[in-house]
Every structure is written in structure tokens, then in C-alpha cells.
Structure 1
């Protein structure tokens, strides 16, 4: 009985490995930015946690670890980064209060570019030493 369990387990493992290899071959070619996020850090405010003059980490999640990434604020490029694995990062310091659309872009050879984004509201920032107080 024990031999049967081992053979079944081995057959299942081989089947799973074959399925994983086929799925890997079917992966899309080209680069795509899939998500963008912003970390408010130690910023705080009543209406928003993002303030002018304060700096924030922006993360771009991508599926190509080599192709450079461009970060945009309201359609204007403000940073370029080379991904480390599936993550490209930069630091952003908003200059103006109001609505901001942060986007990340990674060029696709087929021209079917994707621009994931996050919309945030930025208030007036007051540096507190270890963080940022935000007022509107």
C-alpha cells in the first residue's frame, strides 16, 4: 500500500510540474505596469494624509523586471526607475495642493500600454520633524 501512495504522489508531482511549465510558456510577452500605490508614512490630516512639501514612497508593481518604469503626477513624468523584480519605487514630494493622479507606466513592445493609477487629494503639509501634519 505504501508503494502505491508514493507512486501516486510522484505522478501528481510530475503532473503539477508539467502544468506549471505549460502555464509558464503561456505567460504574456511584454511589459505591463499592473498597480501603483502610495504610502502615507507618518503623515496625518483630517481630510487627507498627503501634504505639500512632504515626501512619500510610490510603488509601481510591474511584470517585467528589466524594462524601465516612468512615474507620472497629473500626466507629467516626475521619476524613472529600474524595477527590482516586480517592484519599481520612487519618492514623491507634491508641490501643489489639490487632486493628483499618480500613474506608473512600463513600455510594452506591442503598443498596448497600461497606465494604472491612484487618485489622491493633497492638502497643505506642515513638517513636524518625524512626520507631516496636513491641513486643507
Structure 2
């Protein structure tokens, strides 16, 4: 025996449930997929003297924090393109670190991103001609 709904209230109830189901399905399909994101970037302090904060030929540690520890982080200088100067996998604490040696005095930003990220993060830098003294750098 099949039961059918013939009353106006029953028809509205069934139609409302169908609309709600379709709306929920559409919302789930339209929701953006979660993507990996670099949430912060910084260059660890080092001993640099001179007019600029960083110098060519001297090395610095660039560290990022990410919200997805399963994807690598790519680092590159402005004008270098995404092929970059380094790639690193995040540690269990969600940070990734690489060594950066400025390639030019024309660099104004260091970038970091993860694959499928909605955006990339950048750190402003001022680079001068560097003289590497081993434990210190002079950036003219």
C-alpha cells in the first residue's frame, strides 16, 4: 500500500524538504576547497652592519608558518618567478625554514607559497652589496 500526500500542508512540507535538500547539496558543491596557505613569513635576525638590512653574498634564514604541513613551501625572490631559490617541507610544528643568499641588490620582496594556495605571502627586504665576514655581514 502506497501512501500519498494530498493535503496542501503535506504538499508544502514535501516541497520545502526537497528545496532544502537541493539548497544543501548546492552549498556543499559550491564551497571552496581548503587550500594550503603560508600564514606568516619572516627573516630571522642576523648580525648585519651598514646601510641595508641584508647584503648580497651573506646568508639569512627565512622562516614561514603554514596551515598545511603536508605540502612543500616554495620560496623565491622578486623577479625570480616560482622556480625560486628553495623548497622545504614544513616540520611538525607547521614551520619551514630555508637559507637565503640575496642574488641582487634590486630585490624588494621575498615570497613564499604552497601549491594550490589562494595567495602567496611576501616579506619586504632592502638588499645592498654585501661583504661576508663570516659571523657578520656589511651591507653597503
Q: What is the TM-score when the length of structure 1 is the normalising length? A: 0.69
Q: Which runs of 4+ in 1 moved over 6 A?
A: none
The alignment's C-alpha RMSD in Å is: 1.7
Counting matched residue pairs gives 104
Larger Rg: 2
Q: Distance in 2 between matches of 1:44 and 1:98?
A: 19
User: Which runs of 5 or more residues in structure 2 are unaligned?
Assistant: 1-32
Structure that is richer in strand per residue: 1
Asked if 1:96 corresponds to 2:98, the answer is no
1:134 counterpart residue number: 139
User: Which runs of 5 or more residues in structure 1 are unaligned?
Assistant: 1-27
2:118 to 113, 118, 130: 113
Secondary structure class of the residue paired with 2:69: coil
1:100 CA drift (Å) = 2.6
1:118 CA drift (Å) = 0.9
Q: Distance in 2 between matches of 1:54 and 1:40?
A: 13
1:73 to 73, 77, 94: 77
1:21 counterpart residue number: none
Which moved further from structure 2: 116-125 or 126-135?
126-135
Q: What is the TM-score when the length of structure 2 is the normalising length? A: 0.68
